[in-house]
Structure 1
Amino acid sequence: DRTGLRCREWHTKKMKTRWGSCNVAERRIWLSVYLAAEPREFISEVVLHELAHIKYPGHGPDFKAFMDFFQRRIDVATDTVIAVA
Structure 2
Amino acid sequence: MSIIYILIPLAIIIVSLAIGIFFWAVKSNQFEDLERHGYSILFDDDIKSPSSSTNKPSDPSPEATQYTDEKNTKEKNKQSLTSNDQS
TM-score range, shorter chain: 0.3 to 0.5
Structure having the higher strand fraction is: 1
Larger Rg: 2
TM-score by length of 1: 0.34
Structure having the higher helix fraction is: 2
TM-score by length of 2: 0.33
